[in-house]
Chains A and B, each alone.
Chain A
Amino acid sequence: MRRGVSLQLRLEKRAAPSRFMLYATPVAAVLITMVLGALIFTLLGYDGLGAVREIFFTPLTNPYKWQDLAVKASPLVIIAVGLAVSYRANVWNIGAEGQYIVGGIAGTGVALLTYDMTGPWILPLMLLAGIAGGMAYAAIPAFLRTQYKVNEILTTLMLTYVSVQLLNYLVFGPWKSPTSMGQPQTVLFSADQSLPYVIPGTIVQLGTPIAILIAVLVWFVMSRSVFGFSVRVVGASPAAARYGGFSAHRTVWMALLVSGGLAGLAGILEAAGPFGRLVPQFPTNYGFTAIIVAFLGRLNPLGALLAGIVLAITFVGGEVAQTTIALPFAAVGIFQAMMLFLLLAGDVLVRYRVRRVANEPARAPA
């Protein structure tokens, strides 16, 4: 046991994770972030209370901002749901950003091939290509892990940087639009290649219902099916999994293909939706932010849905705070980091119970 903790308080492992703490700690993390954030930014000479109000509440209280939240949260949720499955299986795909980029590239490839064609089949084909692209890119680390035992944390991260270069090569080179006056961008997608708007008069596109659907669907599969059970078993204890006849290799493949495919889907949804074409600015860190979303959502698909909205609130609110109270852009990062730190710190309460100990000497290692 750690001495520092056991002087006054002692951590005691719970027999089973606390359900109450599981749900209470993310809420507490957000609340404490607000209090601490208000305090810190007031001390720094900014309008601390205003910062919290604009970052966390304005996007919620102003219905006009809801569509922005939907647009911003959708890709985060889709990617985070895939990552939640992967992390549950103890497979650490941190290269969702790369799979997102390759998904966008693959879908755009279909769009460019079908540029002169029309028909309702084009968009679904693009989405399938996006999923396939993300899966294919995640298959590389899956192959390396199962075949050569190469750590997937490292390979997925490395491949992300490679994908950025691939994107640059394409939009500065062969895919550059002939009418862009030399600017690096592809042609604008045609109507049949763009996501339809699902709520008239808003900017909410097909990506949002897809995100909700995926979160619910994956939650159902993970919590109610044998497949979901096997993932959780393998993740929790590879030895037990072997005993139960579950293949560790198959789990690695499954985790990477699911998370890669969903990241790829998010990529093409973003390219065919808000972006409308491929540009060098396409990588927007959604793949990395989604890691935070997955954790904030407790690696639960429905949790990821909520956490995606919370993160979207901080992004949208951060812009509001810049325009209304001139809060620096960097403040948002500090709020997000604080929130994640507090949530991760709160994890300990899920697994351990805090006991007061009166003048008891530190326990020797067991």
Chain B
Amino acid sequence: MTVLNRRTLIKIGGAAAALPLLGGAAFAQVDKVKAAFVLIGTPDDNGWNFGHDTGRKFMLDKLGADKVETTVVTNVAEGPDSERVFRELAQQGHHIIFATSFGYGDYVHKVAKQFPDVKFEWATGNATGPNVSIYNAKFHEGRAVVGTIAGLMTKTNTIAYIGSFPIPEVRMGINAYAIAARKVNPAVKVKVVYVDSWFDPAKEADAARALIDQGVDVITQHTDGPAALQVAEERGIVGGFGQGADMSAFAPKSHLTSIIDVWGPHYVEAVQAVLDGTWKEGASWPGIAAGEVVIGPYNEKIPAEVVAKAEEVKNAIAAGTLHPFAGPINDNAGAERVAAGDVIDDGEFWAVDWYAEGVEA
């Protein structure tokens, strides 16, 4: 392989250096992979970025420091700044670059064209390229499990979901949560509050207060960090769920369980493929079955039969006998959206623009 250092680059000069001949690895096997992770925030956010960084550490551990070295770039804005970072990383000779946010997509594809020998993996992305793969996790499968717990545990029959923005992924998380909760408790309604930000802990906390003040006693959230859970703990409601990582340290009494993103195995697989020279363009979207979406430890206050029911849902999803979006599904205006015996498949998933029955959004 060609190892690039600053001196060779200076020799080659500015303009020419952008030409594709300067890729990192060749097609053949690689002795030691340089892998880079581009994060939108910092690894200590107790959420999304934490999950990716935990996955990176897992991968490092698994493959060993003689096989892989990693670079992490934090606080990279989704915009032209990210393009520069991707190019810098590619030019430093990284073999594979993980772009861990949707908004990086345009720039991943741009830089990937200039460095055809560098592999790019775009988390939550929606378009692949010759050297760009996308990967995601079926978080909504986890939502179905926590929805089951919420449906069984709520005393007020009012549960809530704090969302960031009304985008399909969030909407489908809400639907999975509501469908599962109503399956075990048809009287449940799901209140939704969008905070219109990916990051505003004080507003998330206020959203949690607003929901609890209006009768909600179980909350889950689609934003990073434990702000809503801490309010649940303070108010002493039935509880809430960790998102992205186990957050029980923030709310020992109210943290019922958590949906943990486990990116580690995917990172191991991707880097191993680069080591073997077998990496190829693809789309990876595993869920509970593959161990990429994991349900954390259950709080001891959850009754045994509720745990049993949650485990049953989890195992059925893993076994493929239960689909979170199996019909019949009505939307919250009463129209039938999915007929009995039908499911919303992976392709239709991203086009859903309605809420399931029982959702108040």
Contact = CB atoms under 8 A, between A and B. Distances in A.
Given A62-B6, A181-B168, A277-B106, A202 B14 contact: yes
B168 A270 contact: no
Given A181-B168, A319-B85, A270 B74 contact: no
A183 B166 CA distance: 9
A326 to B, nearest CB: 8
Interface string B10-23: 10011111110000
Contacts of A203: 18, 83, 87
Interface stretch (A3-11, A63-71, A82-90): A63-71
Given A200-B15, A202-B15, A322 B84 contact: no
Interface stretch (A223-231, A278-286, A336-344): A278-286
B92 A323 contact: yes
A61 B73 contact: no
A201 B15 contact: yes
B80 interface: yes
A64, A65, A181, A201, most chain B CB atoms within 10 A: A64
Interface string A249-288: 0000000000000000000001001111101011010000
A137 B74 CA distance: 34
Nearest to B17: A64
Interface in B183-226: 196
Nearest to B111: A203
Contacts of A274: 79-80, 83
B3 interface: no
A73 B124 CA distance: 31
Interface string A176-205: 000001111000100000000001111100
A360 B13 CA distance: 60
Contact of B78 (A65, A172, A181, A279): A279
Contact of B14 (A66, A168, A316): A66
A72 interface: yes
B73 A63 contact: no
A281 B82 CA distance: 11
Interface in A293-326: 315-316, 319-320, 322-324, 326
Nearest to A69: B84
B42 interface: yes
Given A168-B196, A274-B83, A281 B102 contact: no
A63 B92 contact: no
A70 to B, nearest CB: 10
Given A202-B18, A203-B18, A284 B81 contact: yes
Nearest to A64: B17
B350 A181 contact: yes
A276 B78 CA distance: 13
Contact of B17 (A58, A63, A188, A273): A63
B319 interface: no
B73 A322 contact: yes
A329 interface: yes
Contacts of A184: 165, 167
Given A183-B102, A200-B15, A201-B15, A63 B74 contact: no
B293 interface: no
A132 to B, nearest CB: 24
A281 B15 contact: no
Interface in B66-122: 71-81, 83-85, 87-89, 91-92, 102-103, 106
Given A183-B102, A201-B19, A62 B10 contact: yes
Contacts of A276: 106
A201 B92 contact: no
Contacts of A183: 102, 126, 167-168
Contacts of B359: none
Interface residues of B, number: 44
Contacts of A63: 9-10, 13-14, 17
B351 interface: yes
A78 B79 CA distance: 19
Interface string A48-65: 000000000010011111
Contacts of B87: 68, 203
Given A188-B106, A274-B80, A181 B13 contact: no
Nearest to B40: A281
B15 A323 contact: no
A323 B106 contact: no
Contacts of A277: 106
A57 B207 CA distance: 47
B168 A64 contact: no
B340 to A, nearest CB: 27
B73, B76, B84, most chain A CB atoms within 10 A: B84
Nearest to B81: A284
A58 B10 CA distance: 11
B351 A181 contact: yes
B79, B91, B92, most chain A CB atoms within 10 A: B79
Interface in B13-39: 13-19, 36
A319 B74 CA distance: 9
B353 interface: yes
A282 B10 CA distance: 33
A275 B80 contact: yes
A144 to B, nearest CB: 28
Contacts of A315: 81
A212 to B, nearest CB: 17
Contacts of A329: 42, 74-75
A278 to B, nearest CB: 11
B143 to A, nearest CB: 17
Contacts of B106: 188, 275-277
Contacts of B78: 279, 281
A71 B84 contact: yes
14 contacts: A63-B13, A63-B14, A64-B14, A67-B18, A68-B84, A68-B88, A172-B165, A201-B15, A201-B18, A203-B18, A281-B78, A322-B74, A323-B88, A328-B74
- 6 closest Cβ pairs, A-B complex: A274-B80, A63-B14, A182-B168, A329-B75, A281-B78, A64-B17
Given A64-B14, A277-B106, 10 more contacts: A62-B6, A63-B14, A67-B14, A201-B15, A273-B80, A274-B80, A275-B79, A322-B72, A322-B74, A329-B74
